[in-house]
Structures are given as C-alpha cells and as structure tokens.
Amino acid sequence: MDVEPSFAIIGALIGVPARANILSALMDGRAQTATELAYCAGVSPQTASSHLAKLTDAKLLVAERHGRHRYYRLASPAVAEAIEPLTNLVAHRPVPARRKSKALEELRSARMCYDHLAGGLGVALTDALLAQGHLVPAGRNFRVTAEGGRFLAQLEIDLEAVRRQRRVFARQCLDWSERRPHLGGALGAAFAARCLAREWIRRAPEGRKVVVTPAGRAAFAKLLPGFAG
C-alpha cells in the first residue's frame, strides 16, 4: 500500500487560494484575528474558521487567546522559511509602467520576510556584509567569519545565543523580487531586530513594508561602506 508523501499533505493545504492568502498575510510575523484573516482571504468568517482549523491542526499556525479575541500566527520561523522560496517557482510577468502597483514596488524595495529583512534592502545589506568579508557563502547557508563576529558584536548581537536557537543559523534565503539571496535564519532575525531597536528601520503599521530612516541610511553607510541601498 502506497504511503502518501508528507509534502503532498502540505501541498493540499496551501494549494487552496484562501489558505494561501491567510499564510501570506501572516508572513510579516505578526498575529491577526480570524476576522482580519477572513478579510485577507476574501472569505466569510465561518469559512475562514474552517481554513484556520485545518492550518492549525497541521501545525502551520498556532492560536493564542488574549481577552475576547483569538490571534493566529505562523507556528515557527521554519514555516515562513519553507513558504517564501515557493514564490520563486511562480513566473513574475512584467507589469506595464502605467499599471505599476505602488504597494508592490514598496514591497520590492524593503519588506520583512517573517522576521528578517528582504527586498532590495535585505539583498543590498547582505551584499555589503559579503563584500566586507563578514559573511561567506557555505552551501545553502552563510558562514560568519572572524571579522564578521567582531562586526556583529559591535551591534550587540550575541552569536552564541543566536546559534543555540532551534532553527537554521544563517540561511541564504532566495529573494522573490530580487532573485538573489538575502540573509535569513536566526542571524537574519537578530540583525533585523537590532536595526529595529536602533531605529534604523521602521515597520509599517500593517503589512510587510519597511522604511529606512535617515539615521539608518547614515549608519549603514558608515558600518557597511559597500552598502548601496
């Protein structure tokens, strides 16, 4: 008797447009209510509840209750890291200039990929880290050099603590808009967190958009002379 491959189950789950839209809406790393996700999915609250139950049962999402509301988020960074590269399998057709979406262009420029930086900004910062010799490619991942360890220590990133996390340390995450890698994994998340804490970047109130502050541009130019964001 044939045994169904595990990825077929995942494919069936995310192959439904409403569920794919729910997962996409949660790719910014923030939790949302069932009502908010129903709106994102374009379905009724009752239908959304059914989809959310399936995604939660499959351990792609987790739910947490706060007061009267139940909030859903991706179960772990591993879920985001598995979903994001799938966008590279979809052909991106050029859009005529007169119909360019401002929101899409902003996402291409700078966005969060769950908990790390992506888009033009994420790729430019990764390129600068490589150019300065702080990172080197290592298969599907990056390796931090001795010089890179000293650089990250300046940013108050505890590399040993980052390495102890139960996820890939420094993933080469293929960026769907730039078609080149940006820094993902636990180190990418730690780097993004420091940029947020130092107010070098700001997140939009909703969605995945990120804005580089004037202080951020000055800091990136000083710390990473190869930065061309």
Rounded distance, CA 80 to CA 84, Å?
Answer: 6
Assess contact for 84 and 27: CB atoms under 8 A. Answer: yes
Burial of 120 (0-12, 13-18, 19+ CB in 10 A): buried
CATH topology of domain 6-75: Arc Repressor Mutant, subunit A (1.10.10)
- C-alpha distances (whole Å) from 220 to each of 54, 67, 116, 150 are 43, 41, 16, 16
Domain map (residue ranges) of the chain: 6-75, 84-223
pLDDT of residue 122: 95
Rounded distance, CA 87 to CA 45, Å?
Answer: 27
pLDDT of residue 27: 87
pLDDT of residue 78: 85
Residues of the chain with pLDDT under 50: 1, 94-100
Rounded distance, CA 206 to CA 187, Å?
Answer: 24
Q: Tell me the whole-structure pTM to 2 decimals.
A: 0.69
Question: What is the per-residue pLDDT across 112-150, written as a single tens digit (0 to 9) for each?
Answer: 988 999 999 999 999 999 999 999 999 989 999 999 999
Rounded distance, CA 118 to CA 77, Å?
Answer: 14
Cβ-Cβ contacts under 8 Å for 88 (sequence gap 6 or more) = 174, 176, 179
Which token pair is 27? Answer: 């790719």
Which token pair is 175? Answer: 């960026």
pLDDT of residue 1: 43
Assess contact for 143 and 136: CB atoms under 8 A. Answer: yes
pLDDT of residue 12: 86
pLDDT of residue 97: 42
pLDDT of residue 94: 47
Burial of 81 (0-12, 13-18, 19+ CB in 10 A): buried
